[in-house]
Amino acid sequence: MPDFHWRAAQADAQIIEGQLQAATLSQAMQQLRAQHMTPLSVVEAHGAASPRSAPFSNSGGLVALRAGNRLKSKPITQPDILAMTGELSIMLKAGLSLDNALRVLIGMNAKPAMTVMTQAILDDVKSGIPFSRALARHPMQFGDFYVNMVRSGEAGGQLGSVLERLNEHLERLRALRESVVSAAIYPAILLSVAVLSVVAMLGFVVPQFESLFKEMGDALPAPTRLIMSIGHVFTQYGVFIGIGLALMFWLARIWLRSPSGRKWWQARALRLPLLGPLMLKYDLTLFARSLGTLLGNGVPLLSAFHIATQTVANGNLRNALEGVIPKVKEGWKVVDALESSGIFEPLAINLVKVGEETGRIGPMLLELARIFNRDVETGIKRMLTFLEPVLILILGMLIASIIVSIMLGILSVNDLAA
């Protein structure tokens, strides 16, 4: 049987390590759990790294150790919070008390900022402050959604299970955001290559023919004269053009981040062809998943509505959803209040109606989020399928027009020479 290096946390929060023999990794973990220890890392001894640097998988029941060589100056990021949530849920479900689990996290943290924050949370918990209130003292890392989920777990005595569901929720949101970002990478690269190719042609290739064509004057074909003029402008003023474009981009970025610029963009973004419907469904996915998760964990309806609405990035859409809250307070049915907002399609309204009639509105909202998530991913793929050939076609036409203009000039020179 192979040997396994292991590292585990005891019930008193002490971290110990050693070596054992087992037929499989699963059996090695079972042996550790039988000794009332929480496995932190288990790796085969031969050719394996030390337990302190072994990789982990939350889905396999192991705690994700963060690499110790991270830059100490880095701030706390969402992946850090996601890892902390998964680690806490595993240790609490394994039987460790909250304060001991926090001590284990402090011993595992490789990032000073995480260590300081976790120590502050532990100090608050030891002083008698509820865990949810201790988290609320760090609003930049733990928003209202996170704190209310933890509060519901405290009230029901199921903190470990709630943290596990919270970790799954955050992981789905992360995966959705990453899929959107990943889908935008290839078109961005393609567009950058197109711009650089045209700049290279006009700034470096076209000027090489200037000496050949300078004596022909008006005898050159009109397309050739146009391309030569553009190339001359790039040669003489290319640096200033680049600086001007960069300045315009920088100013536009600052303005779009301002309240007025953000409002202007958000008012028009949802009306864009192809992209607008995807942005709408993306925001509604965040709303439906957040609301369904909160309701499924016992958060009151009005509080859940308010918290879930804050996850929506588009201000106009958020205002429309906030208009639902007063109607629910007045006694409207949830489905009627949502339908009055005018932003939900019939499928969403019917799912919410079924959920409200059967008392399962939370699961129905999670199902709606799953459908919207699939539609967003499918829509992105379709848009890219359309966008990629369009960009390639535009790039080909630009380069071909430059080459054809130069060839027409060369043919004109040959005709005059003949």
Sheet holding 38-44, edge to edge: 15-21, 3-9, 38-44
Which pLDDT value is given to residue 37? 73
Report the alpha-carbon distance of residue 182 to residue 178 in Å, rounded: 6
The H or E element that residue 50 is part of is none
3-state secondary structure of 207: helix
Mean pLDDT over each residue of the chain, to the nearest integer: 79
User: Are β-strands 38-44 and 3-9 bridged in parallel, bridged antiparallel, or unpaired?
Assistant: antiparallel
Closest listed residue to residue 219, CA positions, set 375, 86, 408: 408
Q: Domain ranges in the chain? A: 3-58, 78-171, 173-418
Integer angstrom CA distances of residue 212 from 29, 200, 235, 250, 399:
78, 19, 17, 39, 20
Which pLDDT value is given to residue 401? 86
> Which CATH number applies to 78-171?
1.20.81.30
Which pLDDT value is given to residue 216? 61
Report the alpha-carbon distance of residue 113 to residue 354 in Å, rounded: 46
pLDDT under 70: residue ranges of the chain: 9-15, 40-41, 46-73, 156, 214-219, 413-418
Which pLDDT value is given to residue 411? 79
Dihedrals phi, psi of 262, to nearest 5 degrees: -65, -40
Tokens standing for residue 88 = 């806490």
Burial 387-411 (b: 16+ CB within 10 A, else e): beeebeeebeebbeebeebbebbee
Report the alpha-carbon distance of residue 99 to residue 105 in Å, rounded: 10
Residue keyed to tokens 């995480």 = 114
Which pLDDT value is given to residue 100? 85
3-state secondary structure of 234: helix
Which pLDDT value is given to residue 4? 81
Which pLDDT value is given to residue 73? 52
Q: 41 CB contacts (<8 Å, ≥6 apart)?
A: 5, 6, 7, 51, 52, 54, 56, 62, 63, 65
CATH topology of domain 173-418: Receptor-associated Protein (1.20.81)
Which pLDDT value is given to residue 66? 39
Closest listed residue to residue 305, CA positions, set 349, 346, 263, 337: 337
Nearest-10 Cα torsion for 107, 112, 114, 115: 40
Alpha carbon of residue 368 to chain centroid: 20
The whole-model pTM stands at 0.62
Report the alpha-carbon distance of residue 284 to residue 311 in Å, rounded: 9
Burial (CB count <10 Å: 0-12, 13-18, 19+), residue 225: middle
Q: Do domains 78-171 and 173-418 have the same CATH topology?
A: yes
Which pLDDT value is given to residue 251? 92
Which pLDDT value is given to residue 74? 72
